[in-house]
Amino acid sequence: MHSRASMMENENLSTEACVEEEEPPNLVNGNDVEKLKDLSISHPTNEESAEVSAALQKDEAEVVKKKKKKSKSKKKKEVPEQTDPPSIPVVELFPSREFPEGEIQQYKDDNLWRTTSEEKRELERLEKPIYNSVRQAAEVHRQVRKYIKSILKPGMLMIDLCETLENTVRKLISENGLQAGIAFPTGCSLNWVAAHWTPNSGDKTVLQYDDVMKLDFGTHIDGHIIDCAFTVAFNPMFDPLLEASREATNTGIKESGIDVRLCDVGAAIQEVMESYEVEINGKVFQVKSIRNLNGHSIGSYQIHAGKSVPIVKGGEQTKMEEGEFFAIETFASTGKGYVREDLECSHYMKNFDAGHIPLRLPRAKQLLATINKNFSTLAFCRRYLDRLGETKYLMALKNLCDSGIVQPYPPLCDVKGSYVSQFEHTILLRPTCKEVISRGDDY
């Protein structure tokens, strides 16, 4: 009983307390409300002052953000746009020093797992500096060829065309000894000449309306080479010939991949190439792949690194491997589909594996020193020696060739009167995917 009575008392007390707590709002009259309002305005509570200061801080933060955005946009505006003709080094157009990735193609079938492999992604992160260097060289190639295409016209001196192209490369790549520059001479082979022709000093060859010209030029950063070519023909009669090599090259790229046999790439290229025919001045020609010209693997400061990518069936069983660079190039011909060396030589290159060979002629020693300093194992032409101030060097150059230190690369020609077209890209077999580094909007 006693405990029950005390419980009732406690309940009564607690209900009274609740009533007392609820009562004050009912006791306040209208005037008091106004007074309370005045008080709350003149003396904000701790909670309200906290809210006010939070709002102020937020406003300040927004102002700072806006200022940052403004300064960022100002910085963005300061990034220059390329001029016409191009003169701004590509490195200045990409202040982040991150250059654009090429076209990405995924691996097929047995290599599909590579796309998502974390281990393979990590391998790529380690190779990032090399990827970035070769992408810079590719961006230079794209900008230079875009400009050259805009100025090409019949009547141009071939030597002027080459020098304009080469000087544009030198500017855009910020030429710097063996660290950055031209990777090999500008090939501008005409008609039945398939490759390795560039004018020597004093050459007066003029580009004609009915010419088919292969423009094959290279750029490099730290010896990481972009080898990329296209064909120019003003007369639309040659369009199917150009399309044959462009599509065959794209097929070669599509078929390439890690563990793919080189002979399989060649067979796919030939099938596409020989599905084309072209009518020239009323006569129909079946387009042929030039059977003794190939694509090739590319190494550091080494344009031909040992593997050949055939453009006909029946090639070798050697496989492409992870991490390799390849130049995938195809040549379409209306002639025999076979080239031989002909005409005056302009292209030369020091043998990559040439060790120390004693030379008797002082002039040959001196010329070799010039070659080592300026080109190392990259290809060069006579015009490049002229530009460096070398004179009367032909005897010394022949001596270097005879002793096996330097290799001459004469022009490669199909039968006279035929026409050859070429397209070429540099691809990289990355651990997770295939990157067509030199791909552009044009081809």
Structure tokens at 7: 């419980």
DSSP tag of 263: H
Report residue 45 as tokens.
């509570």
Give the whole-angstrom CA distance, residue 178 versus residue 273.
Answer: 37
Q: Beta strands of 234-282 (E only): which ranges?
A: 277-280
- The DSSP result for 178-189, as a single string, is TTEEEEEEEEEE
Distance CA 442, CA 197 (A): 24
Q: Which of 141, 296, 347, 425 is catalytic?
A: 296
- Residue 114 CA: distances (Å) to CA of 123, 261, 429, 433: 11, 18, 11, 7
* Pairwise CA distance, residues 196 & 407, whole Å: 13
Set 139, 166, 211, 216: catalytic member: 216
Distances (CA, A) of 261 to 89, 255, 257, 380, 430: 39, 10, 9, 32, 17
Asked if 265 contacts 310 with a C-beta cutoff of 8 angstroms, the reply is yes
- Contact at 8 Å (CB) between 215 and 184? no
329 is catalytic: yes
- Of residues 247, 264, 329, 435, which has the active-site annotation? 329
- Would residue 32 show up in a list of annotated catalytic residues for this protein? no
Distance (Å, whole) CA 423 – CA 330: 6
In sequence order, what DSSP letters do the residues of 333-346 get, joined into one string? ESS-S--EE-S---
- Which of the following is catalytic: 166, 247, 264, 424? 424
Q: How far apart are CA 145 and CA 228, in angstroms?
A: 10
Among the options 203, 304, 322, 390, which is catalytic? 304
DSSP 270-325: HHHHTT-EEEETTEEEE-EE-TT--EEEEBTTBSS-S-EE-SSSS---PBP-TT-E
The answer to whether 227 is a known catalytic residue is yes
Active-site residue 274, yes or no? no
Alpha helix positions (H), 104-153: 118-151
Q: Which of 227, 255, 324, 435 is catalytic?
A: 227
Active centre residues (catalytic): 216, 227, 296, 304, 329, 424
